[in-house]
Amino acid sequence: MGKLLVVGSVALDSVKTPFGEVTDALGGSATFFCTAASYFTDVQLVAVVGEDFPPEHLAVLQRDRVDLNGLERRPGRTFRWRGEYSYKLNEAKTLDTQLNVFETFRPTVPESYRTPSQLFLANIDPELQLMVLSQVQRPSIVALDTMNFWIDGKIGALRKVLKEADILIINDGEAQALGDNRNLVQVSRIIRSFGPRTLIIKRGEYGVAMFHGDAMFALPAYPLDDLKDPTGAGDSFAGGFMGFLASASSSDEQSLRQAVVYGSVMASFAVQSFSVDRLAALTDEDIKKRYIEFSRFTTF
């Protein structure tokens, strides 16, 4: 049986928020995604790190349900991202992006990864996303994340990936840039004309909106009074969302809605600490409890 495959970044993040700061902490789109998804299903990772990647970070990535055979270590420095959040926590200000080993990385998907049940193309160079797509048998769901860095820098390659994608998960500012329009309802039509039949727009502390067929589903974010660092919220959302769909082996409207709730649950844990500190230390009980609370405060 195929598994949930992800390609994305494994990073050293230096992040400053009004509540503290960290230097060279474990981060990256694939890191948050794998950690969140591993509570629901088996995950296979394709990514690269440099010689400087610390063993203690590797130990955090090593989880029972995460297969790291596709994580390459190559000569050079690990990808680094430096960002800052003001009290307006919805938007990261990127101060520095160092691609380092990603600059020359050409992913080789291991033989045992080539028939995935689902594929998540996490935020990474769209040309690398295309390379991974071309090496696998097409799974039942291909989902995709991206960011302004690639919308501005590699729109051609990104449009090619979009053509192949079933689901696009991006934040509101990125959706507006990609759709070249400010109105999110119009944007949902424009972006879906590029390929994906389902569009999920993350709106930070305001929650998430899913456009699928003629339907829309919206959910607030989980209300927190101890938010520390929004980094990784989007990837953790995607991990919970895709992980749940993989475990449910379904992608009908009802499953998609439940997956949005599980995604929001995982994002809420991610932002309660820096790096994956909280996200990596959950129990199934913690997740279930928050899922039920979501259902309580959204029922009317």
Q: Which residues bind ligand AMP (CB under 6 A)?
A: 9, 11, 13, 27-29, 32, 81, 97, 123-124, 147, 149, 231-235
User: Inter-axis angle of helices 155-164 and 126-135, to 10 degrees?
Assistant: 30
User: Would you say 2 or 263 has its CB closer to ligand AMP?
Assistant: 263
User: Would you say 2 or 121 has its CB closer to ligand AMP?
Assistant: 121
SS (H, E, C) 91-113: CCEEEEEECHHHHCCCCCCCHHH
User: Would you say 35 or 251 has its CB closer to ligand AMP?
Assistant: 35
Q: Is 258 exposed, middle or buried (0-12, 13-18, 19+ CB in 10 A)?
A: middle
CB of 143 to ligand AMP, least distance (A): 14
CB of 285 to ligand AMP, least distance (A): 25
Q: Please identify the residue of the shown chain whose CB is closest to the bound ligand AMP.
A: 27
User: Would you say 47 or 141 has its CB closer to ligand AMP?
Assistant: 47
Neighbours of 29 (CB within 10 A): 29
CA 275/CA 24 separation, integer angstroms:
10
CB of 234 to ligand AMP, least distance (A): 3
CB of 97 to ligand AMP, least distance (A): 5
To 10 degrees, the CA torsion angle through 203, 26, 132, 246?
Answer: -60
CB of 154 to ligand AMP, least distance (A): 10
User: Would you say 4 or 124 has its CB closer to ligand AMP?
Assistant: 124
User: Would you say 172 or 235 has its CB closer to ligand AMP?
Assistant: 235
CB of 81 to ligand AMP, least distance (A): 4
Residue 142 neighbours by CB under 8 Å, 6+ apart: 118, 119, 121, 133, 164, 165, 166, 167
User: Would you say 70 or 234 has its CB closer to ligand AMP?
Assistant: 234
DSSP-assigned letter for residue 293: H
Judge whether 30 and 8 are in contact, CB under 8 Å: yes
CB of 111 to ligand AMP, least distance (A): 26
As separate numbers, helices (DSSP H) first and strands (DSSP E) second, the chain gives: 10, 13
CA 223/CA 172 separation, integer angstroms:
19
Distance of CA 248 to the CA centre of its chain: 19
CB of 213 to ligand AMP, least distance (A): 26
User: Would you say 42 or 235 has its CB closer to ligand AMP?
Assistant: 235
CA 134/CA 288 separation, integer angstroms:
37
